[in-house]
Structure 1
Amino acid sequence: MSLLTLGLLYRSVFAAPDTAAAWRALLATALGGAGRGPVLAALALVPVNWGLEAWKWHRLARHLEPVRFGRSLRAVLVGLTLGFATPNRVGDYAGRILELKSRRVSALGAVFLGRYCQLVATVVAGGAGLLYFLLTFYLAGYPAAQLGVIVTAVVVCGLVLVPLYRSRLLVAALGLWRPLRRFRPALAVMPTYPARALHAVLALSGLRYAVFCGQFLLLLRAYGVGTALGPGLAAVAGTFLFKSLVPSLNALADVGVRELSATHLFGLLGQAPLPVLSASLSLWVINIALPSAAGLLLVPGLRVWRGRSA
């Protein structure tokens, strides 16, 4: 499916001579003209983005064992690299767990907790973004339906917080279904995190989400996409939500999901697909591809490889 999606994107955008020429012109404008400043600003936010993720993991991991921030940053970059080609980025779990000295089963639950906090930020912001499009483009003139979707959005946003602050219920529910019982030992660490730690991790997740949105908006500006700030943020939030909810085989699959979502939502705002697609691809390159390449340099130093060498 992911290869089919990428193939359709290639045929519709890059293979056609006219659009290929237009894309080259867009790149020249973004990298060498008026768009250079926004592109450089988006690049400058890459260390902030992954620094926040490393800080979040540091906050979670130190609950299990003493850990320095440098090791947390290393674990995040290695996990990003290992997760690049694994289904649903499960390699991200391995990269972080292997950097710990002990309690690796509990570390699995800690990684899940961090990813779930990021999902909460994505669902809350993305729900608000999609709500804007539903009320503006699909349900205008239907007040009862509008009220229904507003109530539904509020309920969903409330429900996603339940497993976070009532994690004992989640652990107990896993015991009711035999195929999921194997995850109980790992997720049993979640109720041991105090509310203050959860608040901090959620705040860091929200900050990282804001950085992602800022990068996307800067790149959209660099490629000449002109939308008002509110609708533009709604489209960006909706795009991130679609990408998070669709399972992927690897990081490349995320490209197709995000690009199709972005072009559709920004298309509703009257924007041409090519600049939006270029901005979305650039976001993936600077935030995923380049840091994954950097993390590749750290993989040979993993403790598991050092142990095998010894």
Structure 2
Amino acid sequence: MVAGKLGITLLTLGLLWHSVVADEATAAAWRGLLRRTLSGEGRGPVLLALLLMPLNWGLEAWKWWRLARHLEPVSFRRSFRAVLVGLTLGFVTPNRVGDYAGRIMELKSRRLDALGAVFLGRYCQLVATVVAGTGGLLYFLLRFYLKGYPAAQLGVAVATLGLNAAVLLPLYYSQVLVAAVQAVGPLRRFSRFLAVMPTYPARALTAVLLISSLRYAVFCAQFGLLLLAYGVRAPLGPSAAAVAGTFLLKSLVPSLNALADVGVRELSATHLFGLLGEPVLPVLSASLSLWVLNIAVPSAIGLFFVLRMKVLRKRRNSRPAPVAS
């Protein structure tokens, strides 16, 4: 365990150094963000985006608390710690699978069911991303790519509605999803992890979905504030569509680790905002700064909890057993 913790710490620190300091583009964006903050130019939007960071992860902790308490009694404090530990472990693992381990380690029982609970939380976040993101991409398709083709526009709009329904329905009819997974041979082994999903009542699922939507709105607000700080002045509606489209495209591409998300988001953001006539550099700087604020900084904070978990367990195990009277 000691070697594992040390390896995670060194790997996380190494990736953070590479992404925030050694990587020229990210380092330049971060220096620009600090310079604007300290000089007063863009200070208000940057500080607001920074203040939204704990709210962002606080909402994620609230969401996990709502899911985890269905399995066992758990405090919000433990849920928040589990989210930060999961964020740090996910930073260094393919497709952020370490996020599952970080949250499961905080539970005392039903850890197998916890895998399904983590997946359910991720799925709710994906639903919010898909619903908003397809609307954003639909705006660009209708305005820039299908202009003058009303039949194609109608077909794409109907397909968008169908896609949203197809994504939303499995959330409330998860028994169908579990049955479908069981029917597919290569996926059958995953059905036992998803078996807990149908045990969540519709009211709880709606609450988690609403929290996911609120967290998504915080993400969008942060991105918008950073774009404003870097001088992007696109109209509010098209900007919101570009932000939503960017988040959707990032979510649809599997990543090797948290660093891989950066390239996908930057490519999507610069393309969509480029269609709105915005220069690349301010959009690139805002997107990189968003990643630093919401992933790099919280991952570094989570390292403290990763190491502290080991220390606390050592202390508990070293306590002498009570003497029977």
TM-score, reference length from structure 1: 0.91
What is the aligned partner in structure 2 of residue 282 from structure 1? 289
Q: 1:294: Cα distance to partner?
A: 0.3
Contact 1:26 1:275 in 2 (8 A): no
What is the aligned partner in structure 2 of residue 39 from structure 1? 46
Q: 1:27: Cα distance to partner?
A: 6.0
Q: Distance in 2 between matches of 1:23 and 1:252?
A: 15
Q: Which runs of 5+ in 1 are unaligned?
A: 1-5
What is the aligned partner in structure 1 of residue 206 from structure 2? 199
Q: 1:302: Cα distance to partner?
A: 3.1
What is the aligned partner in structure 2 of residue 224 from structure 1? 231
Q: Distance in 2 between matches of 1:241 and 1:188?
A: 27
Q: 1:181: Cα distance to partner?
A: 1.3
Q: 1:305: Cα distance to partner?
A: 8.4
Contact 1:83 1:91 in 2 (8 A): yes
What is the aligned partner in structure 2 of residue 3 from structure 1? none
Contact 2:250 2:264 in 1 (8 A): yes
Does 1:60 find its partner at 2:67? yes
What is the aligned partner in structure 2 of residue 177 from structure 1? 184
Which sits farther off after the overlay, 259-268 or 170-179? Answer: 170-179
Q: Distance in 2 between matches of 1:304 and 1:200?
A: 35
Q: Distance in 2 between matches of 1:163 and 1:199?
A: 13
Q: Distance in 1 between matches of 2:38 and 2:95?
A: 32
Contact 1:98 1:303 in 2 (8 A): no
Number of equivalent positions: 298
Q: Which runs of 5+ in 2 are unaligned?
A: 1-17, 318-325
What is the aligned partner in structure 2 of residue 239 from structure 1? 246
Q: 1:95: Cα distance to partner?
A: 0.2
Q: Distance in 2 between matches of 1:189 and 1:235?
A: 36
Q: Distance in 2 between matches of 1:278 and 1:225?
A: 11
Percent sequence identity is: 73
Cα deviation code 1:73-111 (max 9, x no counterpart): 000000000000111100000000010000000000000
What is the aligned partner in structure 1 of residue 9 from structure 2? none
Q: Distance in 1 between matches of 2:25 and 2:166?
A: 42
Change (3 A) 1:82 1:196: same
2:153 corresponds to which of 137, 146, 151: 146
Q: CA RMSD in A?
A: 2.5
Does 1:91 find its partner at 2:106? no
2:78 corresponds to which of 71, 89, 95: 71
